[in-house]
Structure 1
Amino acid sequence: MKIGCSQARTFPVTFFYRSAETASSCLRYILINEDFCRKKYPEIFVIAIVHTGPRNFKRRSLIRKTWANREFYKKFKLAVIFAVGEDPQHPSVQATLQREWETYEDIVQFNFTDTYRNLSLKAVSWLNWAAKYCPNAKYILKVDDDMYVNTFSIMRFFRKREALKSSLKAFYCLVWKQMGVQRGEKDQWYVPYEEFNETVYPRYCSGGSYSLTMQAVQPLLNSVEVTPFLWVDDVYITGLLANTANVERIEINSIYESYGERKVFFDIPIVFVHLPGSLNKRYALWKKTLELCKTMDCYN
């Protein structure tokens, strides 16, 4: 089925990226700094790409002050980009977002409505962005904007992987197995049989945060044309596309804490914590991390 670009922007798209022609002709950047990686951060090692909504100004501000502080580029060669869509129901948001971009130049905005149903579209869009504008990075760290990230631990993890001189096409993540498809129409992740006709999903990564090697990006993009679309982004990107592209999923489940902080500073080093709701909890956890670093060598 072929549709125009104007339709693709507003539909919960189930076919937007079915062909390279549609992708290249319809994808537009509303806000972008084309020199972000090439000139601003030419020695970049890890590019963190944060899924965020247009109105989530406070969440982005907290991330810039904590785990993705610009000072970490000097120490770790880490930089952050915020991936957003449009908010056509609140026109004033765009002007505020424009001013935010002018201040930080760390936002890439795409020309489609920012909704749950367009999360896969957002993910494929930033994969395209990374391939074109940030190929000099070694790794991508995808994170939702309600996650706590222990920068020191994750960068230590990346440095160890790099020391192995591996050329893997791989995701590093919390791997879900034998997860059933939600069929209840009131379920948040409801998928009817017509959109996915299996009872369980293939192995896939938890979508709140995962990492991938830059070697995996182009094979994933090449697989878009021949892989049936699914709007559930973690299943689509790290499950269906990964299977088509023969991209490995390497389990690092032990460094994730799904909710809360109960294990962060005990015997298991936790890197990612899902902390929805209060920004204060995320900030307090970050301050706790910095306090811990006063008694440990967090930078090596």
Structure 2
Amino acid sequence: MGGEETVSGGGTDLKRVCAKDLCCYKIPLFRSWFQGLIVLCLLVFVSSLGFSDSALSWSENLHRHFYGVFNQSRQMNAPAYRVHPKHKAILDEINKNAESSGEHPGGLQYHQAYPRNYQFVMDNAEVCKNNTPFLVLMVPVEPENVAARDAIRQTWGKDTVVQDKVVLTLFMLGLREGGDVEGLRQENEQHHDLIQSNFMDTYLNLTIKTMVIMDWLATRCPTAAYAMKVDSDMFLNIDNLVIMLKTPGIPKMNYLTGMLMWNRPVVRSKNSKWYVPEELYPDSRYPTYTLGMGYVFSNDLPAKFVEVSKAIKPFNIEDAYIGMCIKKLGLSPTSPPNPSQFRAYNSKYNRCEFSKIITYILGSSEQLKNYWADYKKPGPHC
């Protein structure tokens, strides 16, 4: 070939020697080019990390890439603020519209926990229109946890009139991959107490779940006087709660009460289920908040929480996030008239003790049913 004949001297001799095995020079040449390319890529990669806008170290970037901002224990391997695949397009469209309109340059910075970004796929909007409730109990629960819902329906969520006041008990659910859609539909047709939104129902999404509860109260049930977010593993003495809310002097607006948490440190251990990274919450301590097992609030607050949440970066500790919301509003939680009524754990069941409290955390749905059956037996409690 013409190109080959232009090579002279040692080069021509080498070509002749290698004529039977071209690999003798092509492979080393290929290897050298390939190694050089790898080195070049590594240099570009390291340089880009070193001069990135975020000025993160190489290890921090790697940590973010592989673990995400919520690096939990091995049992908590779901990414934070998971978005259902069918819902991602909606969020993308919201971001696109917000950016193009100039309303939120760069998109919705804190869109993950803002409840208006999600839609209700199952609703019971009419329940507050038929009877204006004095109190609405909103119970966040996993879609598959039918046992917890049934236990509550048989115990403290059974009565719709308590101390001559209308009380509603409703369950807030998100989505689960492979969830029993038909089973939930039938359950709701029977009880008319399920509300489901299209966020992914995970522990790390509890802030979303709580804010969706607030949005439902603000838009579907604004005429209620009070509401309570109460966990599904609770013993709730509903009579004592209504008596407390009927006490003269209890505020009808800007009221949030429960077991108050003062000066609580932010957990930075990545092995803890309560871990919060500094980039989501930089302060070392939370503002005063009410423990998430069960807190009560006047029903003017949900709309205010939803609005102010636009300006508060979400993190995965939902009760502390509500504490941030009320602080941003220039308000603060109020200690209940009798703080000893809001209890977390008990060592053992005592009929007299349970007649005095409002909340206790329990171990199972069966425990709730057993305790309730004994508590409701005729005769004096003490």
Unaligned 5+ runs, structure 1? none
- Distance between the aligned counterparts of 2:174 and 2:334, measured in 1? 30
- Distance between the aligned counterparts of 2:277 and 2:292, measured in 1? 20
Residue matched to 1:247: 331
- Distance between the aligned counterparts of 1:169 and 1:112, measured in 2? 28
Q: Secondary structure at the match of 1:77?
A: strand
Which structure is higher in strand share? Answer: 1
Q: Which stretch of structure 1 is more off in the superposition, 240-249 or 48-57? A: 240-249
Residue matched to 1:233: 318
- Aligned-residue sequence identity (percent) comes to 22
1:36 paired with 2:127, answer: yes
1:287 paired with 2:373, answer: yes
1:223 paired with 2:308, answer: yes
C-alpha displacement at 1:69, in angstroms?
A: 0.4
Q: Which stretch of structure 1 is more off in the superposition, 192-201 or 248-257? A: 248-257
C-alpha displacement at 1:71, in angstroms?
A: 4.4
1 or 2 for the larger relative contact order (CA 8 Å, sep ≥6)? 1
Unaligned 5+ runs, structure 2? 1-82, 92-107
C-alpha displacement at 1:257, in angstroms?
A: 2.4
Q: Which stretch of structure 1 is more off in the superposition, 191-200 or 104-113? A: 191-200
Name the count of aligned residue pairs. 279
Residue 178 of structure 1 contacts residue 200 of structure 1 at CA under 8 Å; is this kept in 2? yes
For residue 266 of structure 2, the aligned residue among 149, 159, 181 is 181
- Distance between the aligned counterparts of 1:290 and 1:32, measured in 2? 32
- Distance between the aligned counterparts of 1:254 and 1:136, measured in 2? 30
C-alpha displacement at 1:279, in angstroms?
A: 2.0
Q: Which stretch of structure 1 is more off in the superposition, 248-257 or 97-106? A: 248-257
Q: Secondary structure at the match of 1:221?
A: helix
**Per-residue Cα deviation, 1:52-103 (whole angstroms, up to 9, x for no partner):** 0101101000101100104436943111110010011x23x22211111111
Residue matched to 1:210: 295
Q: Which stretch of structure 1 is more off in the superposition, 74-83 or 212-221? A: 74-83
Q: Secondary structure at the match of 1:249?
A: coil
Distance 1:263 1:199, change over 3 A: farther
Residue 162 of structure 2 contacts residue 242 of structure 2 at CA under 8 Å; is this kept in 1? no
Opposite residue 117 of structure 1, the aligned amino acid is: L
- Cα RMSD for the two superposed structures: 2.6
- Distance between the aligned counterparts of 1:174 and 1:7, measured in 2? 40
Opposite residue 31 of structure 1, the aligned amino acid is: M
Give the TM-score normalised by structure 2: 0.67
Match runs of 1:59-138 below 5 Å = 59-72=148-161, 75-88=164-177, 90-91=178-179, 93-138=180-225
- Larger Rg over CA atoms: 2
- Distance between the aligned counterparts of 1:74 and 1:14, measured in 2? 45
Residue 173 of structure 1 contacts residue 206 of structure 1 at CA under 8 Å; is this kept in 2? yes
C-alpha displacement at 1:230, in angstroms?
A: 1.6
